[in-house]
Amino acid sequence: MSKPDLTTTKLDDAARAGWLYYVAGNTQDEIAAKLGISRQSAQRMVSLAVSEGLVKVRLDHPIAHCLDLAAQLRQRFDLKMAEVVPTDPGSTSTTLGVADAAAAEMTRWLKSETPIILGIGTGRTLKAAIELLSPIECPQHKVVSLTGNIAPDGSAAFYNVIFNIADKIKARSFPMPLPVIASSPEERELLHSQAMIRPVLELSAQANVAFLGIGDLEDDAPLFIDGFISRDELVALRKAGAVCEIVGRAFDRDGVPIKGLTNDRVASAHIPSRDTAMVIAIAKGAKKLPGIEAALKGNLINGLITDEHTAETLLAA
């Protein structure tokens, strides 16, 4: 069967079977009878609906232990919001669960009738979250990138998500047409002085809510792997005490920005103030733990979406 046939016919049937199973609550035998097919065909159609991403499942039941951990995080670290998702002991994914929770939190903000400015960082976790967003019509809102979106070779930075979110929601989006890290402090100042850049920087400072990823600075640090800094620069940051980066800036274990080095050349906007905005970090896992701790100690964030194991480790410290 050709690809067009698969798209127009099989996927339509799979979507119908998926709706009957997950929304209408039919059994596979009932689906088979209603669609005039065998039970085996009904089972295959439901499976196809899931594998093709036609079905998005959200568990709508709070898990007591996760709720308790979230309450402890809010109290311990003076957070305005915290959400803790279950941990899958067999998974090595850094996005599983937290991406779904972040998508749900973004949706909650975007459904507000009151106009807001939503700041968005970058990274794999945020990209995964935005891929889970359902299309939303919200022309009253503005979405602004907090990071440059140009890679060192001049291409669009792969994990800069402003373009992904612009495809999902109908709101005005404001990319930051800058490199993540400029070639010199002088170049950064020159770029920031441009007439088309100043309004974006000003808008980012006015964000009502910001969603941030936290990057580690291990040997496979995203900043290094994606070509924004060299191996020597990565080593120098670590020697200076850096444990993480947020919107391209390196921070030490207390959440204090590293002086000099690549931080002098970061072209991204500053993290919005937690005094005026809800600043939500989305991160989990051992590699992200030093960065999460730094963000909490430095009062860089007032919201956190993480998983059970990471929450337990944070609270045990």
Q: Give CA–CA dist 215/308, Å, rounded.
A: 20
Strands of the 136-145 sheet, one edge to the other: 81-85, 303-307, 278-282, 209-213, 117-120, 136-145, 169-174
Distance CA 170, CA 190 (A): 32
Q: Which of 179, 256, 246 is nearest to 213 (CA)?
A: 246
Closest CA to 306 of 107, 68, 129, 97: 97
pLDDT, tens digit (0-9, with 9 covering 90-100), for 151-168 = 777 766 667 788 888 878
pLDDT in tens, 94-135: 888 999 999 999 999 999 999 999 999 988 899 999 989 988
Q: Do domains 6-52 and 64-316 have the same CATH topology?
A: no
pLDDT tops 80 at residue 58: no
The CATH number assigned to the domain with range 64-316 reads: 3.40.50.1360
The confidence score (pLDDT) of residue 24 equals 78
Element (H, E) at 211: strand 209-213
CATH topology of domain 6-52: Arc Repressor Mutant, subunit A (1.10.10)
Helix axes 64-77, 308-316, angle to 10 degrees: 40
Amino acid present at 313? T
Residues in the chain, total: 317
Q: Is the pLDDT of residue 289 over 80?
A: yes
Q: Which residue has the tokens 């809102």?
A: 141
pLDDT value of residue 225: 87
What are the structure tokens assigned to 170, written together?
Answer: 């109908």
Structural domain boundaries in the chain: 6-52, 64-316
Cβ-in-10-Å burial (0-12, 13-18, 19+) of 10 comes to: middle
